[in-house]
Structure 1
């Protein structure tokens, strides 16, 4: 239970650090929003899909909670594949290169060996983050800029790990990978 609480604290910290990626301004800095919250959620899903497509060999993941603010939406995913401390740098490097190749602006990189993190922003104002939490679990989050208020449906992207229906918290990573879980760099 303590590990789950620590993971929740890491996610909450990410929300505080990243916040509404666009602040009080609308998407693209215009007076009128160019998309609504549902469209922003779908864009967030595509951003997350792209980064998971870049990770090879693939990792297994599940959805985290989707949250909405007064004019923004946040999508989250948790990696259920065990990424060993020895392979963590490789994993962060793959994500960093993917985001840079996509034109994302790097806002902050935390090189702490135990809880590293990468915070970036897309060209259209979405905040993206990777945070390594307790026991090396990797969390991704995408925060939309301020957009037009609307209802937001759950993601239609299918998780690649068991979804743990009915559980209150996301469990620790429990899927082994010959590459990502290996003890050698």
Structure 2
């Protein structure tokens, strides 16, 4: 499952690549120069807040778990001579979202991000593996993507900030505990999200 997800992200998430990506480094480097001089831990905490607010915006609530946190260096970009890095926070949804309601869930997330003033940068309308990418004014970048068996994944990538030790997310997930390092496929039914009929349109 991990390999499938890695392949999906590599194909769809160019705009959310870390700051070492040569394809977007020119644009990002200009923006990084105006970034505040906070530590990478502080940036990670802000990414956690974005993630938590996004997950909490979905009603009925989803069953979700943290899906690994990774840090990467930013090549030769420095702030006041100090090395910089970026952090990626991830979550995976354990709720079974039916094919009929995946578009509705994507729509909920997109509307929430727009309401927060985030810029929608890419919408991939693939029938099998759709995704949405967005960014904040401070260049925190987020994505929601549908993977194998319709599982939803959320990522938040920070800009480059001064390197520091970064702790695992302290935000509490509400997902069903699981064993092992790999997040399993979704298995939690929902009367709403697992229903096999589209969400009825509101009455005029």
- Classify 1:13/1:73 alpha carbon distance in 2 versus 1 (closer, same or farther; 3 Å): farther
Tell me if the contact between 1:33 and 1:146 (Cα under 8 Å) persists in the aligned partners: no
- Classify 1:57/1:180 alpha carbon distance in 2 versus 1 (closer, same or farther; 3 Å): same
Gaps of 5+ in 1: none
Matches within 5 A, 1:11-26: 11-13=9-11, 16-20=14-18, 23=25, 25=29
Structural RMSD (CA): 2.0
Determine the C-alpha separation between the residues in 1 that align with 2:4 and 2:134. 23
> TM-score normalized by structure 1?
0.90
- Classify 1:85/1:78 alpha carbon distance in 2 versus 1 (closer, same or farther; 3 Å): same
Determine the C-alpha separation between the residues in 2 that align with 1:100 and 1:33. 24
Q: Deviations over 1:107-165 (max 9, x none)?
A: 11000111100011111110100010001000000000010100000011112112324
> TM-score normalized by structure 2?
0.82
Determine the C-alpha separation between the residues in 2 that align with 1:44 and 1:101. 17
Gaps of 5+ in 2: 74-84, 199-204
Considering only CA atoms, is the larger Rg found in Structure 1 or Structure 2? Answer: 2
Residue 17 of structure 1: how far off its partner (Å): 4.4
Tell me if the contact between 1:54 and 1:98 (Cα under 8 Å) persists in the aligned partners: yes
Determine the C-alpha separation between the residues in 1 that align with 2:155 and 2:113. 13
1:177 maps to 190
Q: When you count strand as a share of all residues, which structure comes out higher?
A: 2
Determine the C-alpha separation between the residues in 2 that align with 1:37 and 1:158. 20
Q: Deviations over 1:84-125 (max 9, x none)?
A: 110011100000000011111111100011110001111111
Matched pairs, number: 181
Matches within 5 A, 1:119-158: 119-158=133-172
2:89 maps to 75
Determine the C-alpha separation between the residues in 1 that align with 2:169 and 2:31. 21
Tell me if the contact between 1:25 and 1:146 (Cα under 8 Å) persists in the aligned partners: no
Q: Deviations over 1:26-85 (max 9, x none)?
A: 86632x742111111100110011111110000010001100011100000000001111
Determine the C-alpha separation between the residues in 2 that align with 1:13 and 1:145. 21
Higher RCO by CA contacts (8 Å cutoff, separation 6 or greater): 1
